[in-house]
Amino acid sequence: MTRSYVARGRLVTALAAGCLVAAGCSTLPDGGPVVSGGRAAATVEAQPFDYNPPGPRPGALPDDIVAGFLSAQQAVPVSTRVAEEYLTADAAATWRPDRRTIVYTSQQVVARGTDVVIRLRGASALDAAGRWRGAWSDDARGTLRLRVEREDSEWRIVDPPPALVIPRTHFESRYRALTLSFFDRTGSVLVPEPVYLPAGVQAATRLVAGLLEGPPPGSREVERSYLPTGTDLGVGVPVRGRGIAEVPLSAAMVDLRPADLARALAQLTATLGQLPEVRGVRVLVDGAPLALPGGEEVLPVTTGEEYDPSVDWAAPDLFGLVGRSIVRISEGAETRVAALPRSATDFFGRPRSLGVSLAGDRSAVVSGDGTRVWRLTSREGARIAPTSVAEGTDLLRPMWDRTGRLWLVDRGSSLSGTAAVRVLSDDGRVRLDSPQLDDGRLEAASVSRDGSRFVVLVSRPDGEVEARLFRVVRDDLGAPVRLAFARTLPAPNTLRNARAVGWWDPTTVAVMTRPSGFSTRVQLLPTDGATVATSGAPRLDLLFEEGQSMATSPGSPQSLLVTSADGVFDLGGDGRWAELVLPPELRATTFVG
C-alpha cells in the first residue's frame, strides 16, 4: 500500500518508493457509535429516497393516531403537512415544531382514554438553530403526554409538543453536521459552532437564520458576529442556477463599515459554502444586490479563506527530534532546522517532547526530566541560540496557537495533582487557572489552532478519564485572560488509559486510548458534546499496536499519526491504518500547533 502526501494532502511524500507498508489493523469498526468527525456534508446524490408518510386512517384509535403522528414527522423532504393532519384544526394552526428537535433511540405509545403517553428512551434535544443541547426529558421519566379529542368523529391530537420528534435512525441518515461561523473578539479568525440540520432546500435558510441569532449563550465573551444586530432575513434563502444562494437581508447591512462588511460576508460564505449545492452567495437588500467592492454581485464561497479556523497557511510538514536536533520532513526531504546545545542534553537528559509554531519557524522542546523548556528559532540564513523560557515540575508537550503564543502545561507533582497553564508571548506571560484542572491528574492537553478552545484529559480518583473542554477568553488585543469551562465531552467508549489528545478538525477532538496492552483506539468527540452520529461520521479501525503518542493536523492536510515502539502509523481517510517508513532515529513526531 502506498500513500502520496501530495496527491492526498497527507503525509510525507515517498521518502522512498513504497514508503508506506500496511499496518496490522482490524477492518472492523472499533465498537460502539463513533461520533462526528469532519463537518463535510453528504452530497445531494447521497441522500436517501424520499419518504411520503400516510395520513390518519378513518376510525384510528388514539394510540394509532399518536404513532402515526410520530411517523409523519420523518417525511423526506422535511415537511409537517401530513403530521398536521393528525392534529385538531386549532392545534395545527398553532403547532411550532421549529422550536426544537427531540431525537430518541426508541419509543413506546400507551393510550389511557383520551390521554396518550409517549415514553422516549435515549432522548436528546437540539434547539431551534440546530445546536446540540444534550439529554432531554420533560420529566424524570422522559415522557411526552398528549391529549386527544374527537373532531368530525375522528380522534385528533389537541396539544402537540413544540418540537419535531424523530428517531435516532432518521437523524443519522437525514441530517447534516454543519457549522455556523462567527468571529473571535479580535475579528481575525472564524470560530465554528456546530449545528445539525436536515438535508433539503431549507438548509440554507436555517443556516443564515442561525447566524443572525448571533453566537450561542455562554460563548459571547469568546466570539462575536459582524452581521448587524437586528438584521432581518427575508422569506428564505433560495439556491438559484449555477449554485448561487440569494440572501435577502434588511438595510442594516448597508451601514456597515467596509472592514466589518468584509467580515460579515466571510461569515455568510463560510457558513453557506458547506452546502454542496452552493457555489456562490449574492446578498440582496430591498430586492437589489448589495454593492460590493469591485462591482461584483456574487461572492465565491472561498471568500474569506484567510479567516479559516483550520489556519490553512500553517506549515503542513512533519517534525521530530533526532538526538539534540529538530528535524523537518517535507516533500520527502529531511532537514535539520535547529539544535539544543550539548550541555542541555548532558544535564537534563534526552528531550522528551516537541512543539512547533504554525509557521514552522519556531520550536519549543521539553527536557527529558520534564522540568525545563527551551525555545528555538530557525529562519532562513540565520540560526538563533536556544533560550530557556520556563521551568516546571512535569511539563507536557508544548503547544503554539495561531497568534504565535506558546502554551505550557505543568501538571505538577503526581502527589498534589495541581496543574498550571502558562501562555508565553513576546509581551510577557500569563497564568490561566480553573478549578476543573485541579481535581485530578492532568494526562494531556491541546489548544485548537484558532486559539478559541482548550481541551484536557483528567484522570479522576476512580481511574476513569474525562475530556474537558474550555473556551479561551481573550482581551481585545488577542491575549488570553482566562479559561471558561464549557463541558465534559461524552465518549462512545471509556477513556480509561487515555494517553493523548489532539484536534481532528476545528470542532472535533481526537483522543487516543489503549483498551488493551496490544491495541490502540482513537475516539472522535464533537466539541458540542453530541452523542449521535450523522451520515458523514467516519468509523475508525482499531490499531493493533501499543500506542505511545499521537500527532494531529486538523487543517489541510488533515492527518493523524500514532507512534508505538514498533513504528509510526498513519490513519487514512478510509479509517484504516498504514505504517510510515521514517528515519528510525526520529522521535517525538509532531505537526505544527
Residue 309 confidence (pLDDT) above 50: yes
286 and 353 inside one domain: no
What pLDDT does 9 receive?
Answer: 42
Confidence of residue 216 (pLDDT cuts 50, 70, 90): confident
Of 130, 162, 194, which residue constitutes the final position of a domain?
162
Asked whether 480 and 438 are in contact (CB, 8 A), the reply is: no
330 and 294 inside one domain: no
Confidence of residue 379 (pLDDT cuts 50, 70, 90): low
Which of 38-42, 96-100, 311-315 has the lowest average pLDDT? Answer: 38-42
What pLDDT does 385 receive?
Answer: 79
Q: Is residue 150 part of a domain?
A: yes
Count Cβ atoms within 10 A of the Cβ of residue 49 and give its class: 0-12 exposed, 13-18 middle, 19 or more buried. exposed
Q: Is residue 424 part of a domain?
A: yes
What pLDDT does 66 receive?
Answer: 97
361 and 393 inside one domain: yes
Q: Which three cell numbers stand for residue 59?
A: 376510525
125 and 182 inside one domain: no
- Predicted TM-score (pTM) of the model is 0.86
What angle in degrees, to the nearest 10, is found between the helix axes of 258-272 and 203-213? 140
302 and 323 inside one domain: no
Q: Is residue 11 part of a domain?
A: no
Confidence of residue 27 (pLDDT cuts 50, 70, 90): very low
Residue 478 confidence (pLDDT) above 70: yes
Q: Which three cell numbers stand for residue 100?
A: 426544537
Other C-beta atoms within 10 Å of 125: how many? 17
Of 132, 162, 192, which residue constitutes the final position of a domain?
162
Reading phi first (left if > 0) and then psi (alpha if -120 to 50, else beta), residue 348 is in alpha
Sign of the dihedral defined by the CA atoms of residues 450, 453, 457, 458, in that order = positive
374 and 246 inside one domain: no
555 and 530 inside one domain: yes
Q: Is residue 332 part of a domain?
A: yes
Residue 19 confidence (pLDDT) above 90: no
Q: Which three cell numbers stand for residue 36?
A: 462526528
291 and 337 inside one domain: no
Q: Average pLDDT in the 413-419 region?
A: 57
Residue 544 confidence (pLDDT) above 90: yes
Chain Cα centroid distance, residue 546: 27
Q: Is residue 15 part of a domain?
A: no
Could you give phi then psi for residue 43, rounded to 5 degrees? -75, 165
Count Cβ atoms within 10 A of the Cβ of residue 330 and give its class: 0-12 exposed, 13-18 middle, 19 or more buried. middle
Count Cβ atoms within 10 A of the Cβ of residue 151 and give its class: 0-12 exposed, 13-18 middle, 19 or more buried. middle
The boundaries of the domain holding residue 444 are 318-590
471 and 405 inside one domain: yes
How much is the mean pLDDT over the chain?
A: 87
Nearest to 460 by CA among 486, 482, 441, 479: 441
Q: What is the CATH number of the domain that holds 105?
A: 3.10.450
- Percent of the chain topping pLDDT 90: 67
Confidence of residue 348 (pLDDT cuts 50, 70, 90): confident
What pLDDT does 440 receive?
Answer: 85
Q: Average pLDDT in the 37-65 region?
A: 69
Distance CA 133, CA 530 (A): 8
What pLDDT does 3 receive?
Answer: 39
What pLDDT does 17 receive?
Answer: 34
Q: Which helix (H) or strand (E) holds 339?
A: strand 333-339
Q: Is residue 313 part of a domain?
A: no
Asked whether 56 and 28 are in contact (CB, 8 A), the reply is: no
Q: Is residue 51 part of a domain?
A: no
428 and 353 inside one domain: yes
Contacts of 65 (CB under 8 A, 6+ apart): 56, 86, 116, 148, 155, 156, 157
Total domain count for the chain?
3
Distance CA 341, CA 313 (A): 31
Look up residue 283 and give its amino acid. V
Asked whether 533 and 39 are in contact (CB, 8 A), the reply is: no
Of 257, 285, 307, which residue constitutes the final position of a domain?
307
- Selection from 339-348, 413-422, 471-480 with the highest mean pLDDT: 471-480
Q: What is the CATH number of the domain that holds 464?
A: 2.130.10.10
336 and 290 inside one domain: no
What pLDDT does 364 receive?
Answer: 95
Confidence of residue 146 (pLDDT cuts 50, 70, 90): very high
Residue 270 confidence (pLDDT) above 90: yes
Q: Is residue 275 part of a domain?
A: yes
421 and 279 inside one domain: no
